[in-house]
Structure 1
């Protein structure tokens, strides 16, 4: 059994605790206690969350979990000296050490991120870089793995990180099934952007939002204006007009952005041939996808995949 130790400090962000659920679900699906989840703090006892309620914890001690995960707060704060000492020891003794959201600051304060690539919530990435110039902060990544050190972006990205840790232990099939059980759209690849195309479009009405969600879930379809208008319960003419008013883009351009987002995630994941990526994201063929990548990123898909494999940023 592998022990996952979540290190909490006063004011920890509740949403970050969702990262514990994939380990719980792994136990259920495997039919055995593959993981034991423990809540740790400097002195043990109740630790208050950002919402005011407390979680009971054990004091950090000589026993070292298999995986140590620091849980961030709404704003980055320096961890207590006892926690930092424990994290330094974890860097040498634990199999893996991870920071969820601003939990990366604790890892950086403990010296575990020196010279390493790392990420955190985009709103605090510049602060992390300023306070720790030796860290190679990648402010537009869902999570970053560098050897035994993992860091994730904010809030819900902790779930992606936890799913990746489960996949690291038990394979992609289990991680995918856990994501399905948790009603997570999919496990986002570590290199995927923290910014979603759906959020950037920011439609005001439920009808346009419904059409965009439909498009993202049916990328292999042609996604004509007529098809999207039907999903929005509007006539094609009404839909095109309302869509442009609310998003500032044509439906075709917005669909291309959704396809690019999905294709880039698959390319960075690195497990699919380019022809498969093009087909699964609705580009139909690799040449059409290549032209779209050049328009959006100034680079063809192959270059993006090579850059990620080499540990670089885009």
Structure 2
């Protein structure tokens, strides 16, 4: 079983830590078994987490057992992390362990030297500070997460959930990740390159207004849909629908629809023997060529290559 070690430092952000624990804890394999073993660990047996303290069952030796290490942020990420923590992270990286940060946890990875020469992200409000303190890191404040292979970083709040779902999808496929996303009541298909929500001078996000149409899109994405169809389903004008989608999701309605179709196609590629033409038809694309182009743009590989890669990973598992 894949072991996840979640590192709890003093002054840890409880939301970041809980996001990792709960998202991976609820992931289930097709036969119902847990997909991950979760170890919450730290340098001290008890750490502060804002309004309360956490009692930990595991020390830093848990990082030696882990296949993946998750580093949540600290409320003030600027002070150096403990040298024992940094050494443990460096040793884990040297052993090839996958290491991911949530929000300002990227500061800890940077302090350990694990982001040197890499593109990375963090919460938009802390991006300038990270870039100033660690000029050897290429800080990109405009994305939800960055996957550099062994090292991954995410932006703030819900972007940590996006990153966790992204890792579940890489480990176990879209069907398992989709099930985890349903339990988290979160969209699976927000890509790492999607812009962060920059809340300066913006009203508070109210996603409830789009929930009915998002569910409708999920159930009807296989049909040939126009923007007018989406507006009618949402009981809004096209102009209002466009505005609310951009405010609440950072995407246009048709881009969101395309993302849903791509995710459905991934599930078909992973779980069926259906040909490309049939999958294109079943997921709402007008032609196989349009499907191939859209899939490659979104996923980075051709549908046939995605299917081979997933099945190779499944066979290895």
Q: After alignment, is 5-14 or 72-81 more displaced?
A: 72-81
Q: 1:255, 1:146 → 2: CA distance? A: 23
TM-score, normalising length: structure 1 = 0.69
Show CA shifts across 1:231-271 (max 9, x none): 44xxxxxx659949x9599xxxx998222355479889x97
Q: 1:283, 1:35 → 2: CA distance? A: 35
TM-score, normalising length: structure 2 = 0.68
CA RMSD in angstroms, aligned pairs only: 4.5
Is the CA contact (8 Å cut-off) linking 1:214 and 1:228 kept in structure 2? Answer: no
Shift of 1:184: 1.9
Q: After alignment, is 217-226 or 52-61 more displaced?
A: 217-226
Q: How many pairs are equivalent? A: 281
Shift of 1:148: 0.8
CA 63–204 in structure 1, closer or farther in 2 if over 3 Å, else same: closer
Q: Secondary structure at the match of 2:252?
A: helix
Is the CA contact (8 Å cut-off) linking 1:117 and 1:146 kept in structure 2? Answer: yes
Show CA shifts across 1:102-135 (max 9, x none): 1111001100000011111122122211111111
CA 134–36 in structure 1, closer or farther in 2 if over 3 Å, else same: same
Matched, 1:259 2:254: yes
1:301-312 matches, within 5 Å, as none
CA 277–40 in structure 1, closer or farther in 2 if over 3 Å, else same: farther
Shift of 1:192: 2.3
Show CA shifts across 1:136-192 (max 9, x none): 222122221112111111112222222222222222221122212332222422222
1:1-314 matches, within 5 Å, as 1-16=1-16, 17-27=18-28, 30-43=31-44, 45-50=45-50, 52-57=51-56, 58-61=58-61, 64=64, 65-78=66-79, 79-195=81-197, 222=225, 228=231, 231-232=234-235, 243=240, 257-260=252-255, 263=258
Unaligned runs of 5+ in 2: 270-275, 302-317
1:291 matched to which residue of 2? none
CA 74–261 in structure 1, closer or farther in 2 if over 3 Å, else same: farther
Q: Secondary structure at the match of 2:161?
A: helix
